Structures are given as C-alpha cells and as structure tokens.
Amino acid sequence: MASHRKPRPAGTRGAGLRTPVLATAALTSVAVLSQTADAAPPADGKPSLEEVEKKVDDLYRQAESATEKYNAAKEQTGKQRNHIDSLREEVARRTARLNKAREELGSFAAAQYRTGAATPDTATFLLADSPQDYFDESQLMNRLTSRQKSAVDDYVTEQAATMKKRQEAAKSLQTLSESQNELQTAKATVQKKLASARTLLSQLTAEEKARLAAIERQKQEAAARKAAELAKQQAAEAQAQAQQDSGSSSGGSSSDGSSTSGGSSTSSGTYATKAEKAISFARAQIGKPYVWGATGPGSYDCSGLTQAAWKAAGVTLPRTTYEQVDAGTTVSLADAKPGDLIFFYDDISHVGIYIGNGMMIHAPKPGAYVREESIYYAGESIIHSVVRPA
C-alpha cells in the first residue's frame, strides 16, 4: 500500500514546533520513573516491565499503522467494485444494441433470401468472424443500400465497443482481486499485532499491572504539563496579536470609518464555526471504543473519528490519515487552532482533532476509548504536523 503514502522531506516534519520550557524536565521525570520501576533485571530471565510496556506500545502502533493500510485497501476495493458494476451495466447496454444491430442485419439477409437476391458473398459475410475485414472488399459494399450499410456500420461499431468494455471489465476484476488480497493481508497483520499485545499483557502479574498503570499516569501528568505550557504560550501570542490588530484597525480605517480587514476576519469566523461543529461532534463520541476500521456511529478508529467529526461540519475528508494530511493547509503547532488535525509518527499513522490548550480528542488505540488527551500523550517527538482542513 505504499502508493497511499506520500513521502515527506524530513525538514518539513513538525514545521514551526516550539519546545515549551518545561519539556526537558517533564520527559526526564518520566524517564527516571520508568527506569527506577525496573532498574534491576529480573532474575528469571523474563522481560522487564519497561520492556513489556515498550513492546506493547510498539505492537499497538504497528496495529494502527496496519489499520490505515486496511482502511486504504477497503476504500480502494469499494471504488473498484462500483466501477465494475458500472462497466457491467455498460456492457449489458452495448450488448443489447449489438443484438439489435445483428437482428437488423438478419432481417436484410432474410429479405434477400425470400426475393432470391441473396448471393454467396452475402452468406459469407453473415458467417464471417470479422465483418469489417470482409467489407474491405468494395464489390460487396457496392451491393449494399445506404440503409444496409448503416446497419452494418452500427453492428461493427457496437461489436468493437462491446469487446473493449468487456476487456476493461475483466482487467478491473483482476485489480479488484489484488486489492482484496491486500485487504486480507492488512487485516491479518492487525489481528496478529493485537493478539501479541494481549498475550504480553496477560502474562503480567497484578503488581506489575499496577506499576505499569502508575507509569502511565506519570506520563499523562507530564503530557498535561506540556499542554499547559503550550496553552500559555498560545494565549500570550493571541493577546499580542489582538493588540496589534486593534492598533492596525484604529490606524487603518477608511475615511468613512469602516475597517479594511473584514475579509480576513470573515474567513476566520467561518472556519471557527465549522471547527466548533466538528469538535462538538467529536466530544459527543467520548467514551466510545476504538475499533480498527470503524467509522461510527458506535465505534471509531483515529481517522474514522476525524472524518466523521468534520463531516458533521459539512466538510468531506478522505478516509485515511495518509490522505487527510494533504486535505488542508499545514500550519505550525504554535499556530494551531481548535478543529485542526494533529498527525503523529513518521508514517502518519495516527490523527486527532485539536480542541485548544494543548489538548485533543482522539481514538487512541485498540482497547482504549475515544477521549480528550494532551497532544503530548506519547511525547513531542512523535508529532508530525498540523493541518487545517477547511
């Protein structure tokens, strides 16, 4: 499914990202906690809790990446199936016209036979595999009336067009079969990754699960602190911008007192209105389970949620993260506005909808539920880009 991804230069990744002041300290505290939780290697040779946590996270991420491939293959399969249905309908219509042309030729032949005007050439023509080849001989063409010639031309045209459509349909069926194989492969990959993650988690003791939960809480607290820093930074910049706009407005008004910046504010207001609808929809889905390949209404995967949220605002987004990342304007994280899409990881395999103050709503991973969470939930380094879709 490589064709669904669009390679991006490393230099464009996370364009304009600014590191909050407390970022290093927050990450350090999480790292120290994780290391101290399992500082000593287990005597029985089992993987440490930290290793299990990393392995499970990796498996979930791989499953989510495979899910996006599954979504792309499923969408492509649907399009191809619709195309084949259209081709079949077209072939049926052309076959009907071909039969009609053949019947008209047959009526001419029957009339010639009844009147004794039939010639060996005519009989040969009607039995020939390729009528056009035979009609290249001018002798027979001269014998045909204009109406008969028109009927022959119609027959030859429809025969060629029908054959072409049948070949196109056969080729499309082959492509559909290949897409279905890709779909099954992606599905099997997701299921395998999820099964491996469940197996690892099932082998943990109650104490290990409690310690793992404690580490996760610490990570969430660190992520929340980073989100608060971003919110403070964005608030300061918004205030400075508002003051600048106020000064420009008072000094740049026209002679009749009207402002010259109405177009920009109208555009911004339109986006804010749509974004509010998208966020409202996403917030209403909080608590619903993540299910790979799901687009609602009872469950979602990450791109299924963002697609449904913006659809509620009247904006159509593509199905997969690979396509959604190109469905708008890329902005810096510092300039992110509520409603923007936040993409994660180098392979762009996860997405959430920004709601402001460093927070987002997303469908996180298998086994989790749609929730509101810091955009730094897994660290700043995984943030790929921010896209404004409308």
> Element (H or E) spanning 355, and its range?
strand 350-356
Rounded to 10 degrees, the C-alpha dihedral 176/180/181/185 comes to: 150
Structure tokens at 75: 């969408």
CA-atom Rg of the chain in angstroms: 32
Residue type present at position 385: S
**How many Cα atoms occupy the beta-carbon half-sphere of 55 within 13 Å?**
13
CA separation for the pair 369, 240 (Å, rounded): 37
Q: Give catalytic residue positions.
A: 302, 350, 362
DSSP code of residue 365: S
What residues form DSSP beta bridges with 300?
A: 290, 295
Give the per-residue SS3 of 105-169.
Answer: HHHHHHHHHHHCCCCHHHHHHHHCCCHHHHHCCHHHHHHCCHHHHHHHHHHHHHHHHHHHHHHHH
Beta carbons of 58 and 50 less than 8 angstroms apart? no
Q: Is 185 helix (H, G, I), strand (E, B) or coil?
A: helix
Cα pseudo-dihedral 159, 163, 169, 175, rounded to 10? -160
